[in-house]
Structure 1
Amino acid sequence: MDNVLTSRLEGKVAFVTGGSRGIGAATVRRLASEGADVAFTYLRNDGKAAEVVEAVKAYGRRGMAYRIDNANAAAVVDTVNGVADTFGRLDILVNNASLFPTGSMVDTGLDDFDHTIAVNVRAPFAASAAAARRMTDGGRIITIGSNVAERAPVPGLGLYTLSKTSLIGMVKGLARELGPRGITVNVVHPGPTDTDLNPADGPNAASFAEHTALGRYADPAEVAATVAHLASADAAYITGASILADGGFSI
Structure 2
Amino acid sequence: MEGHKARTLDRLSARLKGRTAWISGGKRIGQVVARALAEQGVNIVACYRSSAKEASQIVAEARKLGRKALAVQADAGNPQQMERAVRQASKTFSKFDILINMASVFSRVKFEDITAADWQSNIDAHILGTFWPARFLAPRMSPGAHIINIADRTSLGKVFPDYLPYVVTKQAVQGLTRALAVELAPKGIFVNAIAPGPILKPQDISQKDWNAFRSRSRIKFPVTDAEATEQFALLVIYLSLVTLTSGNTYSLDQGHNL
1:93 counterpart residue number:
99
The aligned amino acid for 1:247 is: Q
Partner of 2:16: 9
Is structure 2 residue 223 aligned with structure 1 residue 244?
no
Q: Which residue of 1 aligns with 2:214?
A: 209
1-structure distance, mates of 2:201, 2:78: 24
In structure 2, the partner of 1:48 is 54
Q: How does 1:36-185 map to 2 (within 5 A)?
A: 36-185=42-191
Distance 1:122 1:47, change over 3 A: closer
Cα offsets for 1:198-234 (capped at 9, x unmatched): 78x72311222112324445532211110111011xx
Structure 2 residue runs of 5 or longer lacking an equivalent are 1-5
Q: What is the alpha-carbon root mean square deviation over aligned residues?
A: 2.2
> For structure 1, which runs of at least 5 residues remain unmatched after alignment?
none
**Cα shift at 1:38:** 0.6
**Alpha-carbon spacing, 1:111–1:217, altered in 2? closer, same or farther (3 Å):** same
Corresponding residue for 1:33? 39
Question: C-alpha separation between the residues in 1 aligned to 2:202 and 2:42?
Answer: 26
Cα drift, residue 134 of structure 1: 1.6
Instruction: Using the aligned pairs only, state the percent identity.
Output: 26
Q: How many residues align?
A: 247
Q: Indicate the larger mover: 4-13 or 161-170.
A: 4-13
Calculate the TM-score normalised by the size of structure 2. 0.87
User: CA separation of 1:44/1:178 partners in 2, compared to 1, >3 Å: closer, same or farther?
Assistant: closer
**Larger of the two Rg values belongs to structure:** 2
Question: For each residue in 1:35-80, what CA deviation from the matched residue of structure 2 results, as whole angstroms up to 9, or x when unmatched?
Answer: 1111012233433322211111122111111233334232123223
Normalising by structure 1, what TM-score? 0.89
2:198 partner letter: P
Equivalent pair of 2:72/2:89 in contact (CA under 8 Å): no
Q: Distance in 1 between matches of 2:257 and 2:224?
A: 14
Letter of the 1:18 partner, please give it. G
* Distance change in 2, residues 1:198/1:56 (3 Å): farther
Q: Secondary structure at the match of 1:204?
A: helix
Distance between the aligned counterparts of 1:198 and 1:242, measured in 2? 27
Distance 1:106 1:217 in 2: 35
Aligned ranges for residues 218-229 of structure 1 at < 5 Å? 218=225, 219-229=228-238
Q: Greater CA deviation, 104-113 or 212-221?
A: 212-221
**How far did residue 93 of structure 1 move?**
0.4
Query: In 2, distance between residues paired with 1:248 and 1:140?
Result: 27
Distance 2:181 2:96 in 1: 17
Deviations 1:109-155 (A, max 9, x none): 11221121011111211111212122111110101111122234431
Q: Which amino acid aligns with 2:14?
A: S
Whichever residue aligns with residue 9 of structure 1, its letter is: L
Would the alpha carbon gap of residues 4 and 54 (structure 1) be closer, same or farther in structure 2, given more than 3 Å must change? farther
Residue 196 of structure 1 deviates from its aligned partner by 6.3
Which range moves more in the overlay, 164-173 or 82-91? 82-91
Letter of the structure 2 residue corresponding to residue 231 of structure 1: S
